[in-house]
């Protein structure tokens, strides 16, 4: 009679199920929260203010960097080039300046000279709807 | 003796190989983690900002003008009339005391003024209750 129990060798297999659950959960989270990068928004330090309205889509987003460079859709341009760009946008909406909304995203560390220049250029094109983007401070 | 040619069919279990799937899932996960950027919440200082000519308009009402310019001490300040104000909170308080806000406010900004202060001046006007704020480049 055999008294000792024969122990079967078991492979130390890891249970993968909870890990796959978590990995899938994370994957779905990142897929849903990731938004396609908007190239018209440059990374910059905006003025920390609470603002007055939520952001809405605009016809044109003008980025003004700390050193005063004007950047539209990732391309640095001069004010005359900007005027041409705005002119194209105007043509697209049937030469009606009231249909154009411009958002200015300016770096708060810079001075106001470039903003003034851009605003004056827009004024000459009779564009009145100019918005200034601000960053809502974290509380 | 078994004469039938029928073989005893052994139960076959279909095993799905998870390895390649986990590889792909991990790859995607790492990609999304690496490329994810957390966007800071942005708002606008609103569409009522109008671009006005430097001279301004003649109006029977005295318009409220906030200037962002260099003060007597050399630092940039908010000028409301002859008063020099150095903080946004004080400016908002002072602007709130104006009885008629229907005419709107004008924010005159000199070229060398820090943009941070220009935005603060517009925000102060909006917070004080002025619906229309005009940005006047100087």
pLDDT tens string A79-132: 999 999 999 988 988 888 888 889 999 999 999 999 999 998 998 888 888 899
Interface test with A, best of B16, B41, B45, B113 (most A CBs within 10 A): B45
Contacts of B45 in chain A (CB under 8 A): 49, 51-52, 131-134
Domain borders along chain B are 50-137
Q: At what angle do helices A79-92 and A113-124 cross, to 10 degrees?
A: 40
Three-point CA angle B106, B117, A109, nearest 5° = 140
B44 → chain A, closest CA residue: A133
- Cβ distance of A27 and B32 shorter than 8 Å: yes
B100-121: per-residue pLDDT in tens?
A: 888 789 999 999 999 999 999 9
Tell me the shortest Cα–Cα distance from A6 to chain B, in angstroms: 26
Query: Does the domain formed by A60-132 have CATH 3.30.420.270?
Result: yes
Element (H, E) at A84: helix A79-92
- Cβ distance of A23 and B126 shorter than 8 Å: no
Q: What is the ipTM of this complex?
A: 0.74
Q: Residue A36: what pLDDT?
A: 58
B27 touches chain A (CB under 8 A): no
B119 → chain A, closest CA residue: A47
* Residues A61/B115/B53/A90 CA torsion (nearest 10 deg): -10
B56 touches chain A (CB under 8 A): no
B29 touches chain A (CB under 8 A): yes
* C-alpha to C-alpha distance for B12 and A134, rounded to whole angstroms: 65
User: Which CATH code is given to the segment(s) B50-137?
Assistant: 3.30.420
- Cβ distance of B123 and A122 shorter than 8 Å: no
Q: Is the pLDDT at B56 greater than 50, yes or no?
A: no
- Cβ distance of B115 and A136 shorter than 8 Å: no
B53 touches chain A (CB under 8 A): yes
- Cβ distance of A129 and B118 shorter than 8 Å: no
A49-80: per-residue pLDDT in tens?
A: 999 888 888 888 999 999 999 999 888 999 99
* C-alpha to C-alpha distance for A64 and A107, rounded to whole angstroms: 6
* C-alpha to C-alpha distance for A115 and B116, rounded to whole angstroms: 12
| CB within 8 Å of chain A, chain B residues 67-96 | 68
Domain borders along chain A are 60-132
Q: Residue A22: what pLDDT?
A: 87
B30 touches chain A (CB under 8 A): no
Q: What phi and psi, each to the nearest 5 degrees, are found at residue B63?
A: -75, 155
- Cβ distance of B123 and A134 shorter than 8 Å: yes
A33 → chain B, closest CA residue: B36
Q: Work out the pLDDT band at B54, boundaries 50, 70, 90.
A: very low
Sheet hosting strand B83-85, strand order edge to edge: B50-51, B133-137, B105-109, B64-70, B76-80, B83-85
Tell me the shortest Cα–Cα distance from A85 to chain B, in angstroms: 19
Between A31 and A61, name the one with better pLDDT. Answer: A61
Q: Work out the pLDDT band at B55, boundaries 50, 70, 90.
A: very low
């Amino acid at each position: 009679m055999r008294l000792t129990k024969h122990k079967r060798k078991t492979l130390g297999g890891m249970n993968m199920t909870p890990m796959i659950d978590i990995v899938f959960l994370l994957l779905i989270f990142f897929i849903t929260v990731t938004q396609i990068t908007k190239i018209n928004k440059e990374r910059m330090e905006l003025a920390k203010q609470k603002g007055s309205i939520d952001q809405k889509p605009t016809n044109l987003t003008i980025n003004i960097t700390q050193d005063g460079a004007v950047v539209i859709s990732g391309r640095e341009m001069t004010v005359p080039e900007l005027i041409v760009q705005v002119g194209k946008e105007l043509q697209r909406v049937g030469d009606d300046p009231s249909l154009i909304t411009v958002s200015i995203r300016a770096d708060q560390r810079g001075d106001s000279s470039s903003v003034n220049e851009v605003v004056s250029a827009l004024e000459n094109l009779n564009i009145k709807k100019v918005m200034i983007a601000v960053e809502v401070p974290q509380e | 003796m078994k004469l039938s040619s029928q073989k005893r069919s052994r139960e076959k279990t279909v095993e799905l190989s998870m390895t390649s799937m986990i590889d792909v899932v991990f790859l995607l996960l790492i990609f999304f983690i690496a490329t994810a950027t957390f966007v800071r919440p942005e708002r606008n200082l609103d569409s009522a900002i109008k671009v006005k000519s430097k001279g301004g308009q003649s109006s029977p009402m005295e318009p409220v003008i906030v200037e962002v310019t260099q003060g007597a001490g050399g630092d940039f300040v908010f000028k409301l009339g002859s008063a020099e104000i150095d903080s946004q909170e004080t400016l908002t308080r002072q602007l709130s005391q104006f009885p008629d806000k229907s005419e709107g406010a004008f924010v005159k900004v000199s070229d060398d003024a820090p943009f941070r202060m220009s935005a603060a001046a517009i925000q102060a006007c909006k917070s004080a209750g002025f619906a229309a704020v005009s940005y006047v480049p100087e």
